[in-house]
Amino acid sequence: MNRLCGSRLVGSIALVLSVSALTGCDDQPPLPALPPLPPTAPSIQPQFVVSGLVHLPAPDQTVVVRAARIEIGSGSHAGEQYFTDERGRFALPPVADADINLIVSKDDFEEGRYAVHQLTADRTIDVELIPHYVRRDWSGTFDTKYDGGYHPFITGWEPYEFDIHSAGEVSMHLDTCKDVAGTYTDFLFGITPFQLYVEASLRGHDAKKSLPAGHYRLDAGLSGPLGGPCAWALSLVRPY
C-alpha cells in the first residue's frame, strides 16, 4: 500500500513540475519589440558649376561683353537668368543635370546658343557673341625724334585687320592735342583698300563711309616733323 501510494505521489509531483515548466513563461515580462528600420535615404545627385567668359569673335576676342544675359534653357533650372560681370565672366549655381542648354543674348548682338553635354565636373566654357556693330578704341602719343634728321613715330598703335561680313557704314573719330596736317606734316589713320581716313586737322577729325563686305586693314600714317609728344585717341565703329 505504501509503495503504491508512494508511486502516486511521485507521479503527482512530476505532473506539477511539467505544468509549471509549461506555464512559467507567462510570469515573465514580454521581450521589447524591435524598432522599425529607418527609411532609406534618397540618393544625392552630384552638382556641378558651369562658368565662362563671353567675348567678341576674332580679331577682337580680347574685347569682353559686359552685362550679357545667360539664360538656362533646359533642365531643372530652365528659365533662370544670370548676367556677365565687368570682366565678361559669369558663374551659374550648381546644377545636377548632365546636359544643359544656354541662351546668350544682349541688345545689338545676335543671340547665341551653347550646349553643355555630359557634365561630370565643374566646367568653364568660352562663348563668342556676334555683335551687329564692333567698336574699337585706341590711344597713344605721336612724337618726333631728331638725329640729324626728323623721324616721326607713334606709340600705342599696331595695324588692325578685320573682316566685314555684312555691308554697312564705317565711322572713325580722331582726337589729338594739336592739328598737324599739310604738305609735309601729316598724322592720319586710313582704311584700305578704300580711301576712308581721318587726319589730325580741323576738317578731318571725323569720317564715315558705307563699305561692302570684305577684308580691310586700318593703318596709321605719319610724315614730317610733327613735334610732340602729343596724345591721340581713335575710335572705329564698323559692322561685323
Query: Which segments of the chain belong to CATH 2.60.40.1120?
Result: 50-128
Task: Return all residues near 226 (Cβ < 8 A) that are at least 6 apart.
Answer: 142, 143, 144, 152, 180, 185, 187
Strands (E), 147-229: 150-155, 160-164, 168-176, 186-192, 196-199, 206-211, 214-223
- Per-residue H/E/C for 5-71: HHHHHHHHHHHHHHHHHHHHHHHCCCCCCCCCCCCCCCCCCCCECEEEEEECCCCCCCCECCCCEEE
* 133-239: CATH topology: Jelly Rolls (2.60.120)
Tell me the mean pLDDT in the region 17-21. Answer: 46
For residue 3, the SS3 value is helix
* Average pLDDT score over the chain: 85
Bond prior to 193 in cis (omega within 30° of 0): yes
Burial class (CB in 10 A: 0-12, 13-18, 19+), 142: buried
pLDDT in tens, 142-184: 888 888 887 889 999 999 999 999 999 999 999 998 887 666 7
pLDDT in tens, 30-55: 777 777 777 776 677 889 999 999 99
pLDDT class for 14, splitting at 50, 70, 90? very low
CA distance 94 to 143: 54
Instruction: Check if the beta carbon of residue 84 is closer than 8 Å to that of residue 157.
Output: no
Grid cell of 140 as nine digits:
597713344
Instruction: Check if the beta carbon of residue 224 is closer than 8 Å to that of residue 151.
Output: no
Q: Is the pLDDT of residue 203 over 70?
A: no
The yes or no reply on domain 50-128 and CATH 2.60.40.1120 is yes
Tell me the mean pLDDT in the region 186-203. Answer: 83
Bond prior to 225 in cis (omega within 30° of 0): no
Instruction: Check if the beta carbon of residue 110 is closer than 8 Å to that of residue 138.
Output: no
CA distance 178 to 151: 18
Instruction: Check if the beta carbon of residue 154 is closer than 8 Å to that of residue 142.
Output: yes
Query: Which segments of the chain belong to CATH 2.60.120?
Result: 133-239
Is the overall model pTM greater than 0.85, yes or no?
no
CA distance 102 to 77: 11
